[in-house]
Amino acid sequence: MKNSARSLNFLSQLLLGDSKNADSKNASDSAANAAARKDISSASNLSIDDFGDLWNLANSHHVIMRTFPALRAMMEAQGSDKLGWIDRALAKEQARIDHAISFLAPICDSLEEAGDVVVIKSLDHWPDLGNDLDLYTNANAADVVSIMKEGFKAEVDDRSWGDKLANKWNFVVPGLPELVEVHISRLGQTGEQIAITRSLTSRAGTVEYGGQTFRVPAAEDRMVISTLQRMYRHFYVRLCDVVDNAKLMESGLVDYAYLKSLAKSAGLWDGLATYLVIVSEYVESYRGRGIDLPPLVTEAARFGNELVYFKRNFLRIPIFPQSAKLYASEWTRLLLNGEFANTLRLSLLPGLATAAALEMKFTGSDKGIW
C-alpha cells in the first residue's frame, strides 16, 4: 500500500465499490481510486507490511468485519497462499466482539433496573463493533455508579473536564478490554443537548445482535448522534460512519421531515444536512452515483465532500470557518429556545478546545480536558 491514503482508498473500494465492474465507466477516474482498483485486481500480491497497514486502518475505522471477508474472497479467487493472515485477523476480531457483547448484555439488563438504557454508536457498525461500549440512560448517576461497582466490580475511570460537563462516566470493568461509556441524561461535547434525548428513549427499538437483545436508537436518532460526534466534536469522519449512514439513507426508514424537525430544534440541522451530503458524495466518488437525498437536506448543507481532506488516518472536517459556523448555529438555537444553562455549557467549548490544544502540544495528550 505504501501509505495510509492508498490503504484508505483500497478499503473504500472494498466497502463501496463494485469489484466485478472495476473498469466500469461509472467508476471514479481519480488516480487514488484507480490505484485502489489496481490493488483489488492484484490482492494476492499484498505483502505482510501491506496487510498490516490495511489491518491498522480498518481497525481505526471499525470496518474489519465488513472489508476483510471481501478481501479474502478476492485473494482466494486469485489463488493466494496468504489467506491465513486474513483468517487469523477475522478470528481475533470476532472473538473480541463476542467477548464484548457477552459483557454488554448483562450490563444493560442491570442498568435498566434504574432507568431506560439505549446502546448508542457502538452497535451502529455491526457486524463490526466500536472500541468503547457506549450507552445512554436517564437513570440517576449515583445509581449507575453503584450498579457498575457492585454488580461488575467496575472502577470509575478518571473523568476529564469535558466528561463532567457532559455528565459522562467511563467504567473499567475487570476482564473487559473496552471501556463502558455511559452518557447520563445529556448528549453533546459539553452536555448541552437534552431535548433530543427524549426522542432517543421514546423511539428506541429492540434489535438482536450476537444472540443478545438490545435497545438501540431509531434511524433518525442514530443520525443525530452520529452528527454530534463527527461534526460537532471530533471533526473527522471514519469509513464506518460513511457506511453506517449510507445504509440508513438507503433503507427507506428515515423520515426526513421528522429528522429536520428534531435536528432543527437542537440547532444541529445545518450540520446534519452537511454530514449527509458529505456521506452521499463520498459514496458517489466510489460508485459513480450518490445517494438520493430530498431537497430539504441538500439545500441546507453548508458544504460537501469537496472540503473534506485526508490527514492522520481520517477524513477531516475543516474547523475554520465551516465547523465554527455550525457551532454558532447550535449556540444560537439553544439561546432562542430559552435553554440558558445549556447555552452556557456550550459557551465553554471554545475555551476547552483551546486548553485541549495546548495540553496536546505540551504533553502529547488532551485526556484531562476532553
User: Smallest Cα–Cα separation from 315: which of 226, 244, 236, 243?
Assistant: 236
What are the grid coordinates assigned to 197, written together?
Answer: 434525548
Q: Check residue 27 and give its pLDDT.
A: 40
Contact 64, 91 (CB under 8 A): no
The structure's pTM equals 0.92
What are the start-end ranges of the H helices in 153-291?
A: 161-166, 195-202, 219-229, 239-251, 256-265, 269-287
Whole-number pLDDT of residue 41 = 66
Q: How many CB atoms lie within 10 A of CB 171?
A: 22
pLDDT of residue 19: 42
* Cβ–Cβ under 8 Å, residues 195 and 343: no
Locate 334 and state its grid cell: 439553544
Specify the length of the chain in residues: 370
Q: What is the mean pLDDT of each run of 10 residues along the chain (370 residues)?
A: 82 80 43 62 82 95 97 93 95 98 98 98 96 97 98 96 94 98 96 93 96 97 97 95 98 97 97 98 95 98 97 94 93 96 93 61 54
Q: What angle do CA 34, 35, 37 make, to 5 degrees?
A: 65
Cα dihedral angle (75, 78, 84, 85), rounded to 10 degrees? -40
Predicted confidence at residue 225, as pLDDT, reads 98
Q: How far apart are CA 267 and CA 337, in angstroms?
A: 10
